[in-house]
Amino acid sequence: MNPQPSIKRSHLLDSAPLFEFSTLVNSTLDLKFILGSVLLTLMAKLRVTKSLVLLKTGEGKFRIENCKGVGSELLRKEIRLARPPKKDFAVSQVSSPAWKTFYGAGIERIFPIVSHGKVLGYFGIGGRMDKGQVSAREKEFVDIFINVAASAIDKGIAFQELRSVNRTLDGKIQELKTLFELSKEFTAVIDRERLLKLFGFTLMGQIGVNRFAVCLKDGGVFASRLDTSALLTFEKKIFSLVTSPMRVADFPKRKSLAAPKSACEAAGITAIIPLQSQNEVKGIVCLGERLRGGGYSQADLEFVYSIGNLAIISLENSRLFNEAIEKQKLEDELTIAREIQNGLLPKSLPEIPGFQIAALNSPSKQVGGDYYDLLLTKRGKLILAIGDVSGKGTPASLLMANVQATIRALVPFDLPLAECTARVNDLLFENTGANKFITFFWGALDPVSRSLRYVNAGHNHPFVLRANGTVKRLGEGGLLLGIMKALAPYQEGSVKLETGDTLVLFTDGVSEAMDNEGNEYTEERLEAFLRTVISRTPQEIVSAVQEDVARHVSGAPQSDDITLVVAKAV
Amino acid sequence: MSNFKVSFRENNNVHVMDLKGYLDAHTTPHLEEAFEKLIAEKKYNILVNCKDLSYISSAGLGVFMAYIEDVRMNKGDIKLSNMSPKVFNIFDLLGFPMLYEIFKDENEAVKKFEAKS
């Protein structure tokens, strides 16, 4: 008669599972779990075989978050609704194409999920086992049920958003940590390889890519599983194009960029990030596909840009540092060369009756291979030697040491000079090879007869300035030393030194000393100058010549060693 | 003194690397050497036990990326185990669980290697 009691009874019957459901979904903040529970409970209660739930992802945008009994291809599918309905409806009664897909999948009825007046999403159900309509009582249950679910879903969404914000923050913190750590480490590392490796590891770890290449403007390429050779044929174009991080897909559509773009695509390069220092692109980083797939976000590219710019500054510093070290090495080597050369020159000048002697060796910055020696033989003769070794620096110094050792070893045998010269030549030729040679002059001065026997092996002809004003040049001899085995014997020359006569040995460092315009001092000027100072002592003559050469070059850097030996008969 | 250490041992034909300490940009070369050593010895079934790993930075993670392809090309794998929640969080944040199998316990990982071979 009155249906009221039975409804009440059924309400009571319904309220127990409803309460149970409410406890369940409110006990968790796990949105996935909540949605799953809601669908299962709905399906059981309404005896339907298909259900799904959509949640709002943006203005007018909804995405299928979970579905049961319908094809899984619907999962994560997004639909757009211009005016999201706020009331439940039968899918068959609407014409919107978005809903039509659902109808095709067997979803018949849609219920909105509303919390605080806002539509959070929709439940869809279909495939009722008894093919019947949803009764008023069931409808009432569903309304209450969805209300309970809505508040749990609302909380679940809020929690998920919070978690996602937190994760984004964690990600940012991780990026900052990495940047901080790198900037600290980069300043401590000066080895270029190590720097690039560290940059690579950080890139791989942070971005999840194992195909990349760093291409520097100076030509250096540091690559991991990426071939940039084709791209680098367009180096200029790429370096001027990429002034900020750029995906290859976003290259401007210009005809001139078609070739570089396809070079990138062929090599699997998907993004290029410039390495900038002082507003100049000093290199690029090319990224290949991510190992786990998926493109790079703008944030990823910005991050690579940041660590790249840190790296390039360190690389620049490392380059400058290495240059400084190289320079230092070179200077150290020159110091060694200078020390060798210095050690070879006689520490004190031997004394010989009837003659005054002076000598000078002024090495240039590069240390040329000048050499002179003065030694007395057992029979009391004075050996005067001067030479100029080809080349500069340590190699020249070592060769010079060789010459000195050979000569000092041969002098005690008291062989004729010409024969000795041939032996020195042959020894040097065997030990050095034809590209090394020495211009060499030496003489044996007999203090008793006052005669000088000499051999000139390709050296600048020494002067004998006579007290009577005439000048003799000493040219007898033969080929310079060390270029070939002595075929023809060396010739010996002889000259007598009377009181007041002066012998001047010199190297081309004197005659070829250049001023800033490239004008040489010349042997003519040397001779003319010597004439003006001939009455002075050997020491004074040496100093005067040195000063006159300095006047000539007037501040130009000394390009070669200057060596002078002066002996005067008194 | 470096505050990061790698030691090697075997567990049922799986080459286990025990990482200890702080793995950052500065100590990364040690891990790099460790991988180079195993790969040079053609040991491709590699399990990295992170029980005593207190921190890992992006550069440290990068080392795993550098070798994974070579190892897998040789039919091996790099698996990880025994991470502290803090260390796992960094792996997770940078998406590594999608690329590497990470186990709670070393023996689980060893079993997985065995199951494959």
**B63-102 pLDDT tens trace:** 999 999 999 999 999 999 999 999 999 999 999 999 999 9
Bridge partners (DSSP) of residue A53 are A66, A123
pLDDT for the residue numbered A11: 57
pLDDT for the residue numbered B68: 95
Average pLDDT in chain B: 94
Q: How far is A205 from chain B (nearest CA, A)?
A: 4
Helix ranges restricted to H, A119-191: 136-188
Chain A partners of B66 at a C-beta cutoff of 8 Å? 200-201, 204, 210, 224
State the greatest distance between any 2 C-alpha atoms of chain B, in Å, as a whole number: 40
Mean pLDDT, to the nearest integer, of A512-532?
A: 94
Check if A202 contacts B (Cβ < 8 Å): yes
CA dihedral (B104, B105, B110, B116) positive or negative: negative
- Tell me the pLDDT tens digit for each residue of A364-373: 877 778 889 9
Mean pLDDT, to the nearest integer, of A142-167?
A: 91
At the topology level of CATH, where does A189-320 sit?
A: Beta-Lactamase (3.30.450)
Q: Which residue of chain A comes nearest to B90, CA vs CA?
A: A174
Bridge partners (DSSP) of residue A54 are A64, A122
Q: What percent of chain A has pLDDT over 90?
A: 52
Q: What percent of chain A has pLDDT over 70?
A: 97
Quote the Cα angle for A440-A442-A445, to 5°: 170
CATH 3.30.450.40 fits A4-162, yes or no: yes
Cα A317 from Cα A128, distance rounded (Å): 74
Judged against a pLDDT cut of 60, whether residue A263 lies above it is answered with: yes
Chain B partners of A181 at a C-beta cutoff of 8 Å? 24-25, 57-59
Q: Which two tokens stand for residue A200?
A: 């690579």
CATH 3.40.50.300 fits B4-116, yes or no: no
Q: φ, ψ for residue B57 (rounded to 5)?
A: -105, 175
pLDDT for the residue numbered A134: 75
Q: Which amino acid is at A316?
A: E
- Residue B99 to residue A178, Cβ atoms within 8 A: no
pLDDT for the residue numbered B92: 93
- Tell me the pLDDT tens digit for each residue of B12-39: 999 999 999 999 999 999 999 999 999 9
Confidence of residue A3 (pLDDT cuts 50, 70, 90): very low
Judged against a pLDDT cut of 80, whether residue A10 lies above it is answered with: no
CA dihedral (A550, A554, A557, A560) positive or negative: negative
Residue A80 neighbours by CB distance under 10 Å: 13
Mean pLDDT, to the nearest integer, of A455-464?
A: 96
At the topology level of CATH, where does A346-569 sit?
A: Phosphatase 2c; domain 1 (3.60.40)
Among the partner residues B65, B89, B90, nearest to A208 by beta-carbon distance: B65
Q: Which amino acid is at A446?
A: D
Q: Taking the domains of chain B in order of start, what are their residue ranges? A: 4-116
pLDDT for the residue numbered A434: 65
Q: Which two tokens stand for residue A555?
A: 């501040």
Question: ipTM of the assembly?
Answer: 0.95
Q: Which two tokens stand for residue A509?
A: 């460092």
Judged against a pLDDT cut of 80, whether residue A129 lies above it is answered with: no
- Tell me the pLDDT tens digit for each residue of A502-517: 999 999 999 999 998 9
Chain A partners of B96 at a C-beta cutoff of 8 Å? 208
pLDDT for the residue numbered A13: 53
Binding-face residues of A in 210-239 toward B, CB within 8 A: 210, 224-225
Q: Do A450 and A497 touch, CB atoms closer than 8 A?
A: yes
Mean pLDDT, to the nearest integer, of A125-136?
A: 79
Mean pLDDT, to the nearest integer, of A14-43?
A: 87
Residue A23 neighbours by CB distance under 10 Å: 10
Mean pLDDT, to the nearest integer, of A470-479?
A: 95
Cα B106 from Cα B50, distance rounded (Å): 9
Q: How far is CA A82 from the centre of its chain?
A: 55
Confidence of residue A106 (pLDDT cuts 50, 70, 90): confident
Average pLDDT in chain A: 89
Check if B73 contacts A (Cβ < 8 Å): no
Mean pLDDT, to the nearest integer, of B48-66?
A: 95
Q: Do A511 and A548 touch, CB atoms closer than 8 A?
A: no
Burial class (CB in 10 A: 0-12, 13-18, 19+), A131: exposed
Among the partner residues B61, B69, B98, nearest to A205 by beta-carbon distance: B61
* Beta strands at A382-392 and A368-376: parallel, antiparallel or unpaired: antiparallel
Q: Find all residues with CB under 8 Å of A277, minimum gap 6, and list them.
A: A309, A312, A313, A316
C-alpha distances out from residue A310 to A286, A287, A370, Å: 16, 18, 50
Q: At which residue do the structure tokens 């040219």 appear? A: A475
Confidence of residue A271 (pLDDT cuts 50, 70, 90): very high
Cα A329 from Cα A334, distance rounded (Å): 9
Mean pLDDT, to the nearest integer, of A129-141?
A: 79
Q: How far is CA A62 from the centre of its chain?
A: 50
Chain A partners of B60 at a C-beta cutoff of 8 Å? 201, 205
Check if A291 contacts B (Cβ < 8 Å): yes
- Tell me the pLDDT tens digit for each residue of A211-234: 999 999 888 899 999 999 999 999
* Beta strands at A477-478 and A451-457: parallel, antiparallel or unpaired: parallel
- Residue B57 to residue A204, Cβ atoms within 8 A: no
* Beta strands at A212-216 and A280-287: parallel, antiparallel or unpaired: antiparallel
Judged against a pLDDT cut of 60, whether residue A4 lies above it is answered with: no
Chain A partners of B85 at a C-beta cutoff of 8 Å? none
Q: How far is A328 from chain B (nearest CA, A)?
A: 28
- Residue A291 to residue B89, Cβ atoms within 8 A: no
- Tell me the pLDDT tens digit for each residue of A537-567: 999 999 999 999 999 998 888 888 899 999 9
CATH 3.30.450.40 segments of chain A: 4-162, 189-320
**Which of A66-70, A99-103, A256-260, A524-528 is the most confident on average?**
A524-528
CATH 3.60.40.10 segments of chain A: 346-569
pLDDT for the residue numbered A188: 84
Judged against a pLDDT cut of 50, whether residue A5 lies above it is answered with: no
Q: Which residue of chain B comes nearest to A204, CA vs CA?
A: B62
Q: How far is B108 from chain A (nearest CA, A)?
A: 24
- Residue A206 to residue B58, Cβ atoms within 8 A: yes
Check if B28 contacts A (Cβ < 8 Å): yes
* Beta strands at B14-23 and B4-11: parallel, antiparallel or unpaired: antiparallel
